[in-house]
Structure 1
């Protein structure tokens, strides 16, 4: 399966390189008397360039930030810790002075952490931001070993301890389970570096609460079906040759198949806006798909364990989740303030699934727990977009400030 995909990708990449050259050439002639037909050809070449997956992480493109008082300040991006499967990136404003340290735990999914670019920008207004920059599994050699849920939880613990005491954790979507488990383990161990606050945003803590199509699909097949049908082997031509992975191209193809008309219309809109000279609209569509089509593979162990443990067994909520053989007990958390955030129209992680963490953390006093349900937003609106910035982020910011 993966060999066939890679062979096709190698051929199509050559075609896209040729199309990119044609696009650049035609753009230079776009203001002549033949502008309209040339724009049509340019727009066609642009679609050819865009219609393909890439496997390299895009740049975060966060070099400057406009502060609350409208000042423009420089942002420094640096890698502060590196592991085989993840790098810990730090984003800090040059004018910042002892801002609260926030670990933003990005999903290990078919997309890179750059999908949270807008989330990072917003958090940077008032915080020193650290981000889990997950690496593409197809680029990780076999000698680095496999990567499962235990490794994910341990990675979060290591990053929290690196940041030191009184840090804050914000987990977006899928890693909410691992983040809650990490904080629970640290609490049970009475670790001095327990975070001051934990925010879980649209995460599947209880997948039996208002099941979505994602939840139902995960439970509709035995785990052997996922292992046999969805796991591939990285081809010999790549750095991770021989590694068993859940390929990003399978995940993205599945997502796109659920909204074929929407994506088709988007490409039609891109072509039309480019031809008509509406560059701003065309550029927005192109930027979205450049990010959307940048995909990463997941280690097979992590993917299969997530399907079985999080979705099929609902292990964390049922009190059956294990970390390196020991039970994970969120009730042990007594010092870390908790905020859960959900979107009213979330069709990936429905209302109630993240709120369930409030019940699990029974060791916290009531004033240390807060829930925010955001009206009129879907899954991505919880951590990106206008309502995230104007309505959800202020709640998160105040939550962090109150827990310091």
Structure 2
């Protein structure tokens, strides 16, 4: 087993403290107390958004007018200033919905192959989708890979690059989590136990002939689901599981995100970040951790950088640098699109993973049954970490190996990726060129 460790970088509390929601999402019925402080925030947010609709419409009209080629002023410096100003106003007041997957093809053996998206299984809070490669001529069988996207405030499209990297060599399936504010309250609640149930159901749909990859937050429920299936002798267990930058044991090299959760405690989160979905959303009156609160934390912790990025966008628009402007749009269309999380899921994850450390302490349960990773014997295990990860500290994911002592040594692997932070564990150039080959090699070895 390849095992590399380096000291974790010293985290900056100011950078990390606002983003506890990066992994958190939460069971349990924690009651209705403490909602009054957060309740007005969501309603005021929606009211402000609606009140700005006329200004947004006017800005959009101005942008269209001063960018239209039939307008002679569009080519002037003044016209470009007006168009750039209108675009920034429109983007600043827009509601960013779920981005499209935009994965229509892949390249296999030098040939461009169309890709279709097919739903295979669906529940109120998630659906399992298959990125089906529409091959004219069959290729040799390739490993099936189920990627469990993080349910941490951003839409699953955040791992678009992860999917694209594995499509040429794997038959890829992905969990597409649903924005909680779009789920009617009559559909019931969703907590960490339900999340684990969903994973087990999906593995049954795929009949166990699959490799399971957990990105970030998904690592804990994935490890729990596999442990429960092994304890029950379930034949549908996956061939392997790959845990990528996940908070298995946040007591190891704790980051500021981890310390914030312990310092605040569960009651603080319940009182300050849980609210009810306002009308007219389909999930009206559902208790949620709203995505806009997490986005606010993201923006505030690096406000200068975001201000400078939008200043550069303005300059690119005025200068006619459309390529740079489009790259900015693509990044922020994804970054500013956030989803609400079920309050039960958010609070239970905060409590189980970050406050009580229940999994590494042997205290985690699922519907009254103990979650015991030492029961895992048939499923191979690989962990991947980033050298500069300030969200999941170095060693937090690797801790899964100690919790799974009965997996044979030849069926284990750990990779510490040099030079990357949290996002670089599952996306970016170094992920494609260095992490993907390591994971692919591990999967192929476990497929034999």
Scaled by the length of structure 1, the TM-score of the pair is: 0.97
Report 1:1-400 matches (<5 A). 1-29=41-69, 32=72, 34-52=75-93, 54=95, 56-67=97-108, 69-95=109-135, 97=139, 98-400=141-443
Give unpaired runs (5+ residues) of structure 1: none
Which segment drifts farther, 268-277 or 175-184?
268-277
DSSP 3-state at the match of 1:174: helix
Contact persistence 1:53–1:294 (CA under 8 A)? no
What SS does the corresponding residue of 2:313 show, helix, strand or coil?
helix
Distance in 1 of aligned mates of 2:375 and 2:54 = 55
- The Cα shift of 1:49 comes to 2.1
Aligned-residue offset at 1:216:
1.1
| Cα displacement string for residues 6-65 of structure 1 (whole angstroms, at most 9, x for unaligned residues) | 101112344323322322222214984643222222211221222246353111000112
Shift of 1:301: 0.4
Q: How many residues align?
A: 403
Aligned-pair CA distance for 1:282: 1.1
Contact 1:202 1:341 (8 Å CA) reproduced: yes
Q: Deviations over 1:206-226 (max 9, x none)?
A: 001111111111111121111
What SS does the aligned partner of 1:240 have? coil
Question: Which deviations, in whole Å up to 9, do the C-alpha atoms of 1:181-210 show, x marking residues without a partner?
Answer: 011111111111110010000000000111
Equivalents in 1 of 2:206, 2:55: separation in Å? 46
Larger RCO, structure (CA 8 Å, separation 6 or more) = 2
Q: Secondary structure in 1 aligned to 2:299?
A: helix
Give 3-state SS (helix, strand or coil) of 1:88's partner: strand
| 1:339–1:370 Cα contact (<8 Å) kept | yes
- The alignment yields a C-alpha RMSD, in angstroms, of 1.4
1: CA distance, partners of 2:133 / 2:85 = 41
CA distance in 1, matches of 2:391, 2:326: 28
| Greater CA drift, 54-63 or 169-178 | 54-63
How has the CA–CA distance of structure 1 residues 103 and 392 changed in structure 2, closer, same or farther, with 3 Å as cutoff?
Answer: same
Note closer, same or farther for the CA distance 1:47–1:55 as it changes in structure 2 (3 Å cut): closer
The answer as to whether partners of 2:376 and 2:407 remain within 8 angstroms in 1 is: yes
1:240-267 superposed Cα distances (whole Å, 9 cap, x missing partner): 1110000000011011111111111110
Seen in structure 2, the aligned counterparts of structure 1 residues 14 and 317 have a Cα distance that, compared at 3 Å, is farther
- Name stretches of at least 5 consecutive residues in structure 2 with no aligned partner: 1-40
CA distance in 2, matches of 1:157, 1:187: 11
CA contact (8 A) 2:96 2:333 kept: no
How far apart, CA to CA, are the structure 2 residues paired with 1:259 and 1:30? 40
Give deviations 1:283-337, integer Å, cap 9, x for gaps: 1111111111111000100001111110001111111110111110111111111
